[in-house]
Chain A
Amino acid sequence: MNRLVMPRAAGFSPSRADLYFTGSAGIYAVNFPVSLGPLAEGIAEKSGCRAGKPETVRNPFRPPGERRLSVEPVSSSRFSELAFISFVAPEKTKRKTSTDWVTLIGEIRLICGMPVRVVESSAPSQVSGASSGHVLPPACTLLSAGQAFSGTQNVSNLQKDEAWRVNVRIQGCDLDHGYLCGTMEALNVPLAETPVVTFWEGEIVDTKNYTFFTGKWEATPEHDVRHWSKFPSFSPLLSQVEIDGGKSLDLSSYPYIFMRWKEQYFVNVGIDCGLTIAGFYYVCFSCSDGSISGFYYDPNSSPFQKLELKSTNEGRSGFSFSSYQLQ
């Protein structure tokens, strides 16, 4: 059973809602009787695809019955095929409207073609959340709370060749929201007497919560593509990202996790320590060996400062994991 919520036509403007589903080209039987709410006779249906020409089928909606619709989904990414059927309520509704919405409950069935997997419909103005089949990036024990990484950040520029030793520890990881956080400790920083510790928060590019386009921190899509392209593991994804930011990519089986890390505050020194945390890192984590590489982006600092970290086992011969659980 599929549910479709349609905003009621207001005044004389038509309203429309789309029912999205994944599947392939074929003939579908569409059976959507009106289930509640007074709705004027006659709903026009158009089947459609993102880039194609809509095909309008005008049929009265009562009595309810099955209509055959030829649907041609367009493949907008290599990873999923998406199609939609559009339901349009006619321009004039005679009865006084008092609810904002009407729910249609019905069924879409493939008659011939390849098997379809139907997903929950999304009402036009629904708040973002889990709905249209996007999957989370893989959970990886090496990128979980408590895990430590160490390596270097290369801060070389024309004048000098310099690298700081860096230790990173993950403190929180919330895959549902594409969020993680932790601390970063920079050692042998020339300007500082002690190691400098910062707290950072990360956005995981999971195409659900965050895409490859940063959209803030003075990073344009061009900057984004330029930085992501410095990771070899990004090249298979480049073409799709250039089209739509990678929104339709399914990264759930991809062996790399892309993130942005932004330092939020200094933990143990004052803001006048001579260091900056104005920029952010483009980060790539390898699920296979737990290594991390990153590029620092700050329009006011030397470009492409590289961060290279490996998962540490802190003196053990093997890997050890603690865990906490929030109540």
Chain B
Amino acid sequence: MPTSASTNRPEDLIARLKFSEGDAKLKALREIKNQIIGNRTKKLSYIKLGAVPTIAEVLATADDSDASLLVQSAAAIGSFACGVDAGVKAVLDAGAFPHLFRILSNPDEKVVDAGARSLRMIFQSKLAPKYHFLEEKKLEFLLSLLNNENENVTELGASIITHSCETSDEQKLLCDAGVLRRLVSLLEGSLNQRDASLDSLATVLKNNLDVISKFVALDNGRALSIITDFTKERSPRTRLLACVCLIIIGNASPCHFQGVGIKTKLILILVELLEEPGQVGEEAPFALASLIADKEDVQKLAFEVDTVDKLCNLLHKGPVQAKRFHGILLALAELCSKLESCRSRFLSLQVLNLVIDALSHENAEVQAVACLCIRNISRSVKNLSAGRFMNETIITPLLHLLHDSSTSIQVAALGAISNIVIDFASRKSVFIQCGGVRQLIQLTKSMDSTLRLNAVWALRNLMFHADNSHKEGIILELTPSGLVSLIYDSELSIQEQSLALVRNLVDGRISSIEHVFAEDGIIMNAVARQLQSCSRSEVCIQGMYVLSNVASGNELHKEAVMNQLFQSQAGEGTQSFVMKFLQDSDGQLRTAAVWCIVNLTHPESPGASARIVKLRSAGIVSQIKSMVNDPCLDAKFRVRTVLEQLATA
């Protein structure tokens, strides 16, 4: 079809590509490639026009000796896949993948380069198919890539590893095949090889202590020294990758990470990298978070070099792109996870409002990490006491997230709420007025046990030292039978939190004890039933404190507790669970049981003597006497209190 030779409209180019031969074909191909490089919009429009299958066809059918055609088609395909997920998908759908591998064995070096580069672009995307190392032929092929003389090909080998190595079996397999040594030698190659190798090493070493030990032992630790030196390199990307590797090694194997010097250096390097544009700046805070996570000593070091300030300043500079925001908030959350000094510093820098705003961010991951941040900051009892978090600006968006469709966001919001409701002054009404109680109770009925657990946890903390009117309101909404089904929940952790909730319910004014006797005492019965059958100490401890708290009430309350303690004994000869707990190996459980006895034998109550007689005949008094030198100090002193009370009775 006659066309003007100067037309370069996409449709025309594609047509020319399809139907012409020789030079014209090559020219059209080259033109397309030049148009799409670095141009996302053009890539997408060409994809829509079906360019990719056409180009893939060219690649598939071109002769092995037709170097230019192979190079241009491979390059064009690679460009489509570069940074554009739709492009990767189109390339894979068009079946170009195996052909790109095919041309890696072409005698012409330029063809090999083009194929390798394009494959690397594809493997940078999650959409690339997984490379199955566990298949022998595939492993052999991979090793041949790594051992190839061509730089692009070795980088391809490394990027395949980075993409596809996931399980510890795969890590071990690669390690056993000598991949580590080869990657280490690539560290001393070109800049690109070095970076590709660092990325790869991080993947192979991650969380695998065996592989890490072998790596560290290579050449007496030379590899480790090389990577440590890379933390001072000029290239920001290299510095970041080197830090990531060291952090992975240090997290799995702390003995390679001791000494204040190396940790402080890593913190300073990463903080500096936070300011870098592009991917490096986006990934740096995640590396920082991983460095400090769960390690109080490293968090302290980070605090001492003003990391909190530096992170907060980045937030103050203006709106931040989503991924970077996510990373910075995550790093702040980790920093504030254990140290009050970090939390105080954070609060003094006036960024809490930005974090609260992030609760309503459009990106779900930002929302979740903002919840995490608030949860960790609100571990500050000092600020909880000052009512710093008990206001509508925080509570409203958190409650809103409880309606989110994603369970993980709901759980994250519940985490923050659990801490905030501890509030010590009578400011809990703010939370209740916002409708928080209803939502929490709703979630206690969820099918998802994590949601149930966190909702009950929040209610337990809300119940702590709550006003009588608030307690009434919560129980009215939850209902005794609702509470009972939580006590009988299939998850032990939920049983524990529910019993702790009851414990808090019956503390405070004596009148609140009545709640457990509502509806024929179903709550009280449920508590006792759980104590009889449960074997997990954390659950039993909370249950015993319920009984103990009730036993600190009036005569009727004490008698009710006595009934529960000795109900199962009637004619069966089995001992009361209290006896079992007094002999338990867990000191806290023994202490809780003794407290119950302390309260039952409290001298000011008229019925004390009768109860003592009963306790004596059940063998409990002699058990208590035998605990006079209990190794747990708390239990020991409570035992002595009982004995003093018995003496005065």
Show the binding face of A for B, using Cβ within 8 Å. 3, 5, 7, 36-38, 98-101, 103, 105, 123, 125-127, 129, 138-141, 145-146, 171-172, 174, 177, 179, 181, 183, 199, 201, 253, 255, 264, 287-289, 313-327
Contacts and interface: CB of A to CB of B under 8 A. Distances in A.
Nearest to A126: B260
B278 interface: no
A36 B258 contact: no
B634 A139 contact: yes
B347 interface: no
Given A146-B464, A315-B510, A127 B605 contact: no
B297 A129 contact: yes
Contacts of A37: 220-221
A313 B228 contact: no
A125 B256 CA distance: 15
Contacts of B301: 127
B549 interface: yes
17 contacts: A3-B255, A98-B225, A123-B259, A138-B633, A171-B424, A287-B634, A315-B510, A316-B552, A317-B552, A318-B599, A320-B507, A321-B503, A325-B500, A326-B379, A327-B415, A327-B418, A327-B457
A298 B489 CA distance: 54
Contacts of B554: 317
B465 A146 contact: yes
Interface string B454-477: 100100110111000000000000
Interface string B623-645: 00000000001100110110000
B552 A313 contact: yes
Contacts of A145: 381
Interface string B79-116: 00000000000000000000000000000000000000
B268 to A, nearest CB: 14
A321 B465 CA distance: 10
Contact of B382 (A101, A264, A325): A264
A140 B634 contact: yes
B440 interface: no
Contacts of B75: none
Nearest to B601: A318
A98 B259 CA distance: 14
A318 B506 contact: no
B251 to A, nearest CB: 16
Contact of A181 (B385, B457, B509): B385
Contact of B224 (A99, A105, A181): A99
B491 interface: no
A324 B464 contact: yes
A84 B375 CA distance: 43
Contacts of A287: 633-634, 637
B386 interface: yes
A317 B555 CA distance: 9
A245 to B, nearest CB: 22
Nearest to A173: B381
Majority DSSP secondary structure for residues of A touching B: loop
A38 B500 contact: no
B382 A181 contact: yes
B370 to A, nearest CB: 15
Given A125-B261, A320-B508, 10 more contacts: A36-B256, A126-B258, A129-B297, A139-B634, A146-B464, A316-B553, A318-B551, A319-B599, A324-B461, A326-B379
Nearest to B385: A171
Pairs A-B, 10 closest by C-beta atoms? A172-B381, A318-B599, A318-B552, A138-B633, A5-B258, A322-B507, A316-B552, A324-B464, A36-B221, A101-B259
A130 B638 CA distance: 29
A318 B258 CA distance: 51
A36 B379 contact: no
Contact of A100 (B262, B384, B464, B551): B262
A253 B255 contact: no
B163 to A, nearest CB: 31
Contacts of B297: 126-127, 129
B300 to A, nearest CB: 6
Contacts of B576: none
B382 A320 contact: no
Contacts of B300: 127
Contacts of A125: 259-261
B473 to A, nearest CB: 18
A314 B297 CA distance: 41
B229 A322 contact: no
Contacts of B259: 5, 7, 100-101, 123, 125-126
Interface in B471-522: 497, 500, 503-504, 506-510
B302 to A, nearest CB: 11
A177 B262 CA distance: 25
A103 B551 contact: no
A317 B605 contact: yes
B553 A101 contact: no
Contacts of A327: 375, 379, 415-416, 418-419, 454, 457
Nearest to A252: B633
B419 A288 contact: no
A318 B220 contact: no
B24 interface: no
Contact of A288 (B296, B500, B640): B640
B591 A141 contact: yes
Contacts of A255: 633, 637
A17 to B, nearest CB: 10
A36 B218 CA distance: 9
Contacts of A323: 464, 500, 503-504, 545
Contacts of B637: 140, 255, 287-289
B225 to A, nearest CB: 4
Contact of B381 (A126, A181, A314, A318): A181
Contacts of B510: 315-316
B548 interface: yes
A204 B297 CA distance: 20
Contact of A105 (B221, B255, B548): B255
A177 B342 CA distance: 14
A77 B553 CA distance: 47
B51 interface: no
Contact of A317 (B220, B381, B454, B599): B599
Contacts of A7: 259, 261
A99 to B, nearest CB: 6
B386 A324 contact: no
Interface string B263-296: 0000000000000000000000000000000001
Nearest to A98: B225
A317 B604 contact: yes
Contacts of B386: 199
Interface centre among A98, A287, A288, A327 (most CB of B within 10 A): A327
